Chains A and B, each alone.
Chain A
Amino acid sequence: MSAIDDLFGRLRAENQKAFIPFITAGDPNLAVTKAILEAFDAQGCHLAEIGLPYSDPIADGPTIQASYTRALADKIKVPDIFSMLSEVKSLSMPRVCMTSYSIVHRLGEQKFLEMSTTSGLAGAIIPDLPLEESPRFAGLCKEHDFSLIQLVTPMTPRDRALRIAENSSGFLYFVSVTGITGTRDSLPEDLLQNVAWMKEQTSLPVCVGFGISRPDHVRELRDVADGLIVGSGIVRHLESCDPANPEETIQKVSNYVGEMIAALK
C-alpha cells in the first residue's frame, strides 16, 4: 500500500473528495516552491503534484510552459529539486511528481525511482509514457511500492481505458478535455457522464484534471470524481511573483487553494 492508497482509503471512508494542486518546482525558485507546498498542506490539500520543468512540454498550455521556462532560466537542476522535496517529507499530504519521460530516461529509470522515493515522493505522472511504452518502468515502480499514475482522455476508446485503468496505480488521471493544460471557462458537457462510466469500471480512485480553475468547476464535479487536480489556475499566480518578496504570491496561492477546497464541501 502506498501513501496514495492510504489517502484515498481514508477519504472514501469519510465520503470526502481529494483536492490536488499542482506547482512547478523552481518557479521562481525552490524556496518559494517549498513555501507553497507548506501552504498547500496547511490549507488541507490532500495530495500535491510537483512539476519537474522540461524544456519541450507538448501537453502543456502557455501558462505551464511559461512557468517551466522561468524555472529553467534559473538553471534549476533535477537533483536540487529532489533535495528540496526531501526537506518537506514531514508534510501530511503525500506528494507525486509530474514530468516528461525525457527527464526520466536521461537520469535512468532506476536512479529516478531511487531519487524519488528517497525524497519522499509516493508516485509519478509521466504524460508522455503511454501504456505501450510503460511496462518496464511500471514493473520497477511496483517493486518500489511507487505509484505510476496513468491518464485517460476523451480520445481514449473505452476498451483501451479499461486496460489503462488496470495498469494504473494510486489513482487514475481523467483528462477532462481533448487538448493541452490551461484554464477554461466551462468543462465539456459529457464529462460527468464519462467520469461516472469510468468509475463504474474500476476500483481505483478517478481524479479529474485539465481546465479546472474555478470553485464552480469544483462544485460541478465533486459528486462524481474522487479528486480534482488544479494546475494552471495555481501556476498563473506565479507570473507576477517577485523572488525577493514572494510573500504576497504565496498568500494569494494559499487563499485561492482555500477557496477551491471550500467548494469541495
Chain B
Amino acid sequence: MSATSQVPDQHGRFGDFGGRYVPETLVHALEQLDLAYREAIRDADFLKTLDGLLKDYVGRPSPLYFAERLTEACGGAQIYLKREDLNHTGAHKINNTVGQALLTKRMGKQRVIAETGAGQHGVATATACARFGFECIVYMGEEDIRRQSLNVFNMKRMGAEVRPVTTGSRTLRDAVNEAMRDWMSSVQDTHYILGSVVGPHPFPAMVRDFQAVIGRETITQAEASFGKLPDTVVACVGGGSNAAGMFYPFVDHSEVELVGVEAGGRSNLLGDHAAPLTYGQPGVLHGSLSYVMQDEDGQTADVHSISAGLDYPGVGPEHSYWKQTGRVNYTSCSDKEALDAHGKLAQLEGILAAVESSHAIAKAMQIATERSPEEKVVVCLSGRGDKDVFEIARLLEEEI
C-alpha cells in the first residue's frame, strides 16, 4: 500500500489509524466541528481572512534560509532551514491557533481551552484568543510550568488563565486529559484548540491542514531558490504538527525523501525516551488509534525527553499511516545529540533553535554529511529557543 494525500476518510481513518475513540458526550460536538471546518475551508471569505492574518499578523511567508556555514561544517548536502521560528510568537504553533480561532468565531463560541507542553501552543492560543477577544484557559502540567516559566508569564500577560495539572506525570499527556475533561462539561459554549495532529477526528486532519502552509511555502520557495524540490525534508515529531504540516504537501511527490525525528531521550529503554514510532506499537490514546508507548496492559507508559514539546507518549495517526506505508522514515536522536546540534546552530549560524527543533537539526546534519553537495536538505526549524534558555543552562550546568 502506498501513501496518498487523500486521507482521512469520513470516519477520520488514515489507513488503519485515527478514528474517534471518545465518550459519547463529545461525539456530537466533534461532528459539528467537522462540519463547520469543512464548510469553512470551502468558503472563500474564510480563506481570505485566514491568509490575511497569516501574512500581516503571523508574518508569513517564513523564509527558506540557506545555512551556509552549517553546510560547510557538515561537508555534504546543502542545508536549508524553514524558519518557523521567525513567526509571531516564535514557533509554527500560531498557524494552527489562528486558523482554529477564526473557526471558533465562525461557530459562535466565546470560550477557548487548550493544552500545552513546552508552552508554545499555550502562548499561540493565548495570542489568538487575545486577538479575537475570547476567554482562554490553558492546561499545563506542573512539571512543564517549572521548565517553561517564561511562556507561563507571557500567557498570563495576554489574559489567559494557566491551570496547573497535578495528575499523572504532570506533563503534556496529563494536560490533554484535563483539557478533555473540561470540554466534557463545557462543550456547548467552548472550543478546544488542540495543538497537535493528535486526538479524535477531525483534529488530526484539521491541524495538519492549518499547518500545511509550511510545506506549501517550502515547495514554492525551493523552486524559486534552487529550481527543484528538496531531495530530503526533515522535521521533529512529538505529537507531530510541524512535521505533518511540512510533509503533507510532499506526500504525493514520491521522489522527495521525508524524515521524521522523534525524541530518543536518554536511552532506548521504556521510560527513557518519547519515540512511539520508533519503539512503540499501535494503541488508543486521547481519542485516536496510533503508535503509542504503553505497557503490556494498555496503560500509557511514562516517557522522557529534555524537550517538553516532544515529551508525549503518543503521535498523530497520520504519522502512523506514513510509517506503515513507508512514505516517511522515522528515526530518533538523543537528548545529547539535540543539545549538541543546538550549540552548533547557535555558533555557526547565530540561530538559537528550540530544543524540539534541535532534534531535527541534529538528524539533518547527520544526513547532510552522508550526501553529495548537489543534494538539498530542508529542515523545519519549528521554533526559537528563548523559552529553553534556563533549561539548557541547567543541563549544561551553567549559571545564568
List residues of chain A with CB under 8 Å of any chain B CB: 54-61, 65, 69, 72, 77-78, 100-107, 127-133, 150-157, 160, 164, 175, 177-180
Residue of B nearest to A127 (CB): B23
**Alpha-carbon gap, A179 to B25, bound state (A):** 7
Contact in complex: B21, A153 (CB < 8 Å): no
Interchain CB contact under 8 A, B25 and A106:
no
Q: Which 5 residue pairs across A and B have the least CB separation, nearest first?
A: A106-B298, A179-B185, A103-B298, A58-B180, A59-B23
Give me 9 A-to-B residue pairs in the complex whose CB atoms sit less than 8 angstroms apart, sorted by A's number: A57-B177, A101-B21, A102-B294, A103-B297, A130-B22, A130-B27, A131-B24, A151-B24, A155-B188
Contact, CB under 8 Å: B24 / A58: no
CB-based contact B173/A56 at 8 Å: yes
Taking chain B's interface residues, is the majority helix, strand, or loop, or is none over half, making it mixed? mixed
Contact between B284 and A175, CB atoms less than 8 A apart: no
Supposing A61-B181, A103-B298 touch, asked if A178 and B284 sit within 8 A by C-beta, the answer is no
Contact with A along B21-46 (1 / 0, CB 8 A): 11111111100000000000000000
Select one of B25, B285, B286, B298 contacting A59, CB under 8 A: B25
What residues of B have a CB within 8 angstroms of the CB of A107 in the complex?
Answer: 297-298
Closest to B292 in A: A102
A102 and B25 in contact, given A59-B184, A65-B167, A69-B167 (Cβ under 8 angstroms): no
Partner of B298, one of A102, A151, A160: A102
Known contacts A103-B298, A133-B21, A151-B23; 11 further A-B pairs (Cβ under 8 A): A55-B299, A56-B168, A56-B285, A102-B294, A102-B299, A106-B296, A128-B22, A130-B22, A132-B11, A132-B27, A153-B24
**Chain B contacts to A: CB under 8 angstroms:** 11, 19-29, 167-168, 173, 177, 180-181, 184-185, 187-188, 282-287, 289, 294, 296-300
> Are A155 and B28 in contact, with the CB atoms below 8 A?
yes
Given known pairs A58-B180, A106-B294, the reply for A100 and B284 (CB within 8 Å) is yes
- Assembly CA distance A203 to B22 (angstroms): 26
**Cβ of A132 and Cβ of B298 under 8 Å apart?**
no
Q: Is the CB of B299 within 8 A of A72?
A: yes
Contact check, A55 vs B300: say whether CB atoms are below 8 A apart.
yes
Partner pick for A178 among B22, B185, B297, CB 8 A cutoff: B185
